Amino acid sequence: MLQLKRDGDGVAGGGASPTLDLPTTPRLHRVDWLPARAKGIHLAERLLLIALVCDSVVIGGGLLLAFWLRFYTPIHSIGVPATVSLWDYEGYIVYGGCSLLGAMSYFKVYDRRCLLRFRRTGERMMKACAVWFVAFQAFLVMFRFPPAISRIYVAISAVVVTAGILGWRFGFHRFLQKSKAAENLRQRVLFVGWNEETQKMSDSFEADAVHPYQVAGCVPSPGSQFRLKPRVPVLGDYSDLPLIFRAQLIDMVLMSDVDCARGEVMGLAHVCEKAMVQFKIIPSYFQILSSGLQIESVSGVPVLGVSQLPLDVPANFLLKRVVDIIGAIVGLIISIPLVAIFGLLVYVESPGPILYRQRRMGLGGQTFDIIKIRSMRPDAESGTGARWAVKDDPRRLRVGAFMRAWNIDEVPQFWNVLMGEMSLVGPRPERPELIERFKEQIAHYNARHFAKPGITGWAQVKGLRGDTNLPERIRADLYYLENWNIFFDFQVMIMTFLNNRNAY
């Protein structure tokens, strides 16, 4: 067990060697450093309170505006005419406002880490508003309080309130991002050890101007050297941690070296606890699907492992399937003229089959035949075998180049979606011949088969398709699997239409 000695603090640990004697320096009192670090916490609490109060005002104003729009403008004659006063709707407005605030709280809108991140806050608010709209409508239909509430009013309220809170929150977050308060809202992070994971995390903090974390520096692990050369300041030795905590106002310690002895890890956790610094370990043993990590009990012993991903939840899987079926039916109806026109152009340029079937691998490693409009010569792979298309691929037809640029050759895959072989959104399916090679070369490649493949996906809208950076594409696919929700799917579909054209 690691033993740590500090002047006047006694022993932080017990047992035998090794023993680390901290430098003898004048002891700093809590009043010298904890209030400075707590300044950001108190500021965040005040800002969240301001956000809550302003959200309440905007929601209340939105519900009142919706009442005026429904009953005091020309649309009052739509539906069943009704003569109601504001006092008749007083209970509905109060209930609607309180229930929406409750939904926003449930979806963690009022999280300190979201104060600088409008996108994350906006996503959570959209989820809360969608759930609130359905629940509000269902509650009122079930109990039918007098007077009966106008469903048109509920629909207008959902639109007005959602637009109102998103609009004001956008301005609020932009103001925070550009103000001096942003510095105090960020948590200062110290890395213990330095490897690929910490380097990637540090780079992500630097690349994101609104990230809620700021890297203060790093120190080596006890009794070991850095595995990579750190890209951040080295603040001292491991034995200097208590002094570094005070001098650098550290909020969080992230330990990346899990090869340390158990006693050393427990000793570091104890030092962090005494200094009221958060202690976390980067799960290097779980480099994939880390958001699915859960602690569960096996024969009374707690174990940590990948337990469940969002699409493993039956309700989520069913919701995605319903959206897929509706989208596939609509897509097939819309795509009939495209298939007819471009099929004719393909046949005129290169007589032969119009549709092209190709073996692909899907959910759980099962294979299926993907359907596309043929965009290459019939003998495109006769001499090379299975390989990816490349930019300016000489095997393409003239009309095929246009179709591939605008993804028109993919539209018959709505049939694959309807048959349950694919989804509207998901990792793009690859050919089994290529997968046999990729799974040996690219770490975690087969993890992308935990979900149905999609016509489009998060990697595709980020420009990672065809002959591009494969490891980055896999990371994008895994990010999608870990962070799936139905709004994420809609976001990808919208981005697909807005940025439809690809390189080849």
**For residue 141, is it within any domain?**
yes
* Mean pLDDT lowest among 84-93, 100-109, 317-326, 382-391: 382-391
Give me 222's structure tokens: 């006890």
For residue 245, the enclosing domain spans 186-285
In 3D, which of 489, 456, 448, 107 has the Cα closest to residue 320? Answer: 489
21 has pLDDT over 50: no
Q: Tell me, yes or no, whether 67 lies in a domain.
A: yes
Tokens of 58: 């905007």
My answer on whether 135 and 173 are in the same domain is: yes
> The whole model's pTM is what?
0.55
- Partnered with residue 294 across adjacent β-strands are 305
Asked if the model's pLDDT at residue 297 lies above 60, the reply is no
Average pLDDT, the chain: 77
Q: Single out the residue of 484, 477, 417 nearest to residue 447, CA to CA.
A: 477
Cα-only R_g, the chain: 29
- 268 and 243 both lie in a single domain: yes
* 305 in a structural domain: no
- Shared domain for 349 and 491, answered yes or no, is yes
* pLDDT 10s digits, 384-407: 555 556 555 667 788 877 887 787
Label residue 370 by pLDDT band (50, 70, 90): very high
Name the 3-class secondary structure at 278: strand
- The pLDDT of residue 98 is above 70: yes
Final residue in a domain of this structure, among 138, 161, 178: 178
- With respect to residue 402, please indicate whether it lies within any of the assigned structural domains: yes
83, amino acid identity = T
pLDDT at 371 over 60: yes
> What is the average pLDDT across 373-393?
64
Reported as type and span, the H/E element at residue 474 is helix 470-482
Percentage of the residues of the chain whose pLDDT score is greater than 70:
78
- Answer yes or no: do 454 and 319 share one domain: yes
Query: Of 113, 147, 178, at which residue does a domain stop?
Result: 178
Note whether residue 392 is domain-resident: yes
219 occurs within a structural domain: yes
What is the per-residue pLDDT for 406? 80
Most confident of 247-251, 280-284, 413-417: 413-417
Tokens of 36: 């400075």
Angle between helical axes of 262-274 and 241-248 (0-180°, round to 10): 40
Q: Which domain-ending residue is among 147, 178, 209?
A: 178
Q: Are residues 364 and 468 in the same domain?
A: yes
Total domain count for the chain? Answer: 3
195 with 142, same domain: the answer is no
Regarding whether 481 and 339 lie in a shared domain, the answer is yes
Strand partners, 118: none
Structural tokens at position 412: 């018959």
Looking at the structure, do residues 107 and 147 belong to the same domain, yes or no?
yes
Do 382 and 478 belong to one domain? Answer: yes
* CB contact at 8 A, 151 and 22: no
Asked if 121 and 144 sit in the same domain, the reply is yes
**Higher pLDDT, residue 302 or 123:** 123
pLDDT of residue 13: 35
Residue 425 exposed, middle or buried by CB count within 10 Å (0-12, 13-18, 19+): buried
Is 151 in contact with 90 (CB distance < 8 Å)? no
The rounded distance, in Å, linking the Cα atoms of 123 and 315 is 20
> In the chain, what is the straight-line distance between the N-terminal and C-terminal CA atoms, in Å?
59
One-character DSSP codes across 402-422: HHHHTTGGGTTHHHHHHTTS-
Tokens of 299: 């024969």
pLDDT tens readout for residues 460-475: 888 877 666 777 888 8
Query: Which CATH number fits the domain that encloses residue 247?
Result: 3.40.50.620
- For residue 117, give every residue at least 6 positions away whose Cβ sits within 8 Å of its Cβ, in sequence order, or none: 173, 210, 211, 212
Q: Same domain for 106 and 126?
A: yes
Residue 54 has pLDDT above 90, yes or no: yes
Contact, 21 vs 239, CB < 8 A? yes
pLDDT per residue over 320-354, tens digit each? 999 999 999 999 999 899 999 998 998 888 888 88
Residue 182 in this model has a pLDDT that exceeds 80 = no
Range picked from 299-303, 327-331, 344-348, 494-498 for highest mean pLDDT: 327-331
Distance CA 10, CA 270 (A): 12
Q: Judge whether 3 lies within some domain.
A: no
What pLDDT band is residue 15 in, cutting at 50, 70 and 90? very low
Please check whether residues 328 and 246 belong to one and the same domain.
Answer: no
- In a domain, residue 11? The reply is no
